[in-house]
Each structure stands twice: as structure tokens, then as C-alpha cells.
């Protein structure tokens, strides 16, 4: 009887040990052997790698795909999918974008427009739009968007704001009644663009100059327009 009791005790102890071990293994497997795969789609490759490796997974780059609308080194596709339960140590494979690369924007404020264009060209960029404003140093860049120090995709563009003269409007007079010297002096004082064209023919005599404008009297023009003056006599 005593031997039977010993045997029963040993068997019972063994069963308890096996049951306890089995339960512990199942708990350990359930708690630490699987993790939720992180969502790295759209992230930069460095940030994506960090999140994956934090979960105890390995990070594998499968290939690059050309994408014009997704910046370079951003994750396009991942396998396994985000939130899927996976074993620790499993590889997360990603496809990265071979798209436009970020380019740092220099400070162009205060530079003449031509010099600003040259600096941009040296970095493989060009402004997509130049806007002139009436106030500010004429011909100089007074603002830019985005600002300097920021990154821009090499296929995107930005705005340069350049100082210029305020645009004024004028009404074309009957120049045939105007004195040549006084008219030219007035146009230069107002910084108007003009071109004179000598025309063969009989003038008014006495060495005087007869003028005729290419645009009819009463025509509205701006300081950006070129006034063409036809001259007869006096030359």
C-alpha cells in the first residue's frame, strides 16, 4: 500500500508539473511571441525601420518604384499588412518610392531677380511664378514662398515676390500738337517707354518736328507699354 501511495504521489506531481509547464509555455507564447505589425505606409524609410525594429521585427527593402507624387524613400507598400498579428522576428518587406527628392531652399530675399534665378539654376531649380509688387526695391526679391531653410520637392515650384514700379495708367494725347522736346522730357520724367521712328516726308518747315503716335489719341496705356512716335522734319 505504501508503494502504491508513493507511485500515486509521483504521478500526481508529474501531472501537476506538466500542466503547469504547459500553461506557462502557452502564456509565454501568447504574450511575447506575436506582435501587431506597425503601419509604416507613407513614412520615411528611417522612421519606418525604427517602428518595425521596435516591435522585434526585421526590416527588408524589396525594391523602389517610380512615383511622381510621392517623395523619395517613402513607403508605398508593406507586407504583412498593418495591425496583422505576426511572430517576433518576422520580416516586414516594403516597397519604397523613387519619387522627387526634397531640396533645401536658399535665402533669396534682397537679391536681384537675375542673381536669384542663377542661384536656383545652380541647384537645379527654377521659380514657378514671379509676382511683382508696387512697393519695395525695384528689381530685388522682397519675399519668397516657401521661405528659406525649408525643403521643397525638386518637381514642385515656389513663388518669388519682386519689387517694381507702381503701374500707372495714362491717356494718349494728340502729340501732333505737342512740342517735341517738352514731350520727350515729360515721358522720361515719368519713366515711360518710347521709341522714335523718323519718317521721310514734308514737315511743318522751319526745322520743326511733326509728331504722330502709333496709338490714336485717347488710348489708355500703362508705363509698361512702348509709345511709338513717328517724326517728320527737323532731321
Going across the sheet that includes 75-79, the strands are 58-65, 91-97, 75-79
What residues does each domain of the chain span?
Answer: 34-99, 102-163, 169-232
CATH 3.30.10.20 fits 102-163, yes or no: yes
Predicted TM-score (pTM) above 0.85: no
* pLDDT tens, residue by residue, 132-162: 887 778 889 999 887 776 666 655 567 888 9
34-99 folds as Trypsin Inhibitor V; Chain A (3.30.10)
> What is the percent of the chain where pLDDT is above 90?
29
> Is it true that 34-99 and 102-163 share their CATH fold?
yes
* pLDDT tens, residue by residue, 60-88: 999 999 988 888 999 999 999 999 999 99
CATH 3.30.10.20 fits 169-232, yes or no: yes
- Give residue 15's pLDDT band: very low, low, confident or very high (50, 70, 90): low
Q: What is d(CA 183, CA 191) in angstroms, rounded to the nearest whole number?
A: 12
* pLDDT tens, residue by residue, 180-197: 888 888 888 888 888 888
**pLDDT score of 65:** 94
Amino acid at each position: 500500500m505504501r508503494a502504491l501511495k508513493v507511485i500515486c504521489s509521483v504521478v500526481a506531481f508529474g501531472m501537476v508539473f506538466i500542466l503547469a509547464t504547459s500553461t506557462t509555455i502557452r502564456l509565454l507564447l501568447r504574450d511575447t511571441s506575436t506582435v501587431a505589425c506597425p503601419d509604416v505606409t507613407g513614412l520615411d524609410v528611417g522612421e519606418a525601420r525604427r517602428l518595425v525594429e521596435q516591435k522585434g521585427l526585421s526590416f527588408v527593402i524589396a525594391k523602389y518604384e517610380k512615383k511622381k507624387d510621392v517623395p523619395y524613400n517613402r513607403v508605398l507598400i508593406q507586407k504583412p499588412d498593418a495591425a496583422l498579428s505576426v511572430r517576433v522576428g518576422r520580416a516586414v518587406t516594403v516597397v519604397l518610392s523613387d519619387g522627387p527628392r526634397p531640396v533645401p531652399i536658399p535665402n533669396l530675399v534682397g537679391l536681384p531677380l537675375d542673381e536669384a534665378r542663377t542661384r536656383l539654376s545652380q541647384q537645379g531649380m527654377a521659380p514657378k511664378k514671379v509676382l511683382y509688387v508696387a512697393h519695395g526695391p525695384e528689381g530685388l526679391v522682397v519675399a519668397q514662398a516657401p521661405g528659406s531653410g525649408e525643403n521643397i520637392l525638386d518637381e514642385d515650384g515656389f513663388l518669388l515676390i519682386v519689387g517694381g514700379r507702381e503701374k500707372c495708367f495714362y491717356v494718349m494725347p494728340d502729340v501732333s500738337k505737342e512740342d517735341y522736346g517738352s514731350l520727350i522730357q515729360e515721358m522720361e520724367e515719368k519713366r515711360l517707354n518710347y521709341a522714335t521712328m523718323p519718317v521721310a516726308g514734308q514737315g511743318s518747315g522751319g526745322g520743326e518736328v511733326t509728331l504722330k503716335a502709333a496709338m490714336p489719341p485717347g488710348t489708355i496705356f500703362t508705363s509698361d507699354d512702348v509709345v511709338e512716335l513717328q517724326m517728320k522734319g527737323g532731321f
